[in-house]
Amino acid sequence: MEINKNLLKVSAATALAVTALVAQNTTVKADDASQSSSNPTTSQSTSSDAQSQSDQAAQTSQTSQDTTQVVSNKVIKKVRINYVPGYGINIWNTYKTGRKFTKVRAQHNTVWKVYQMVTYKGHKWYRVGTGKWIMAKYTKKYTQKGKKQASSTAAAVVTLLRAQLGKKYVWGATGPNSFDCSGLTSYVYSKAAGINITRTTYTQVNQGKRVSMSNLEPGDLLFWGSASAPYHVGIYIGGGQYIHAASPSQGVIQQSLSSYFYPSVAKRIL
Greater confidence (57 vs 140) lies with 140
Which of the residues 105, 108, 167, 244 is marked catalytic?
244
Predicted structure pTM score: 0.52
Q: pLDDT tens-digit profile of 174-224?
A: 999 999 999 999 999 999 998 999 999 999 999 989 999 999 999 999 999
For residues 146 and 135, the answer to whether their CB atoms sit within 8 Å is no
Supply the pLDDT for residue 217.
Answer: 94
Which of the residues 127, 167, 232, 267 is marked catalytic?
232
Which of the residues 118, 150, 157, 181 is marked catalytic?
181
For residue 251, count CB atoms less than 10 angstroms from its CB and return exposed for 0-12, middle for 13-18, buried for 19 or more: middle
Mean pLDDT, residues 164-173 taken together: 98
| Active site (annotated) includes residue 181 | yes
Question: Rounded to whole angstroms, how far apart are CA atoms 223 and 108?
Answer: 22
pLDDT class for 107, splitting at 50, 70, 90? confident
φ and ψ of 61, to 5 deg: -65, -45
Q: pLDDT tens-digit profile of 212-232?
A: 999 999 999 999 999 999 999
Q: Give the amino acid at 83.
A: Y
| Active site (annotated) includes residue 123 | no
Supply the pLDDT for residue 34.
Answer: 41
Segment 82-89 long-range contacts (CB within 8 Å, at least 24 positions apart): 82/108, 82/109, 82/138, 82/139, 82/140, 83/108, 83/138, 84/108, 85/109, 85/190, 85/194, 85/195, 85/196, 86/190, 86/194, 86/196, 87/196, 88/196, 89/134, 89/135, 89/138
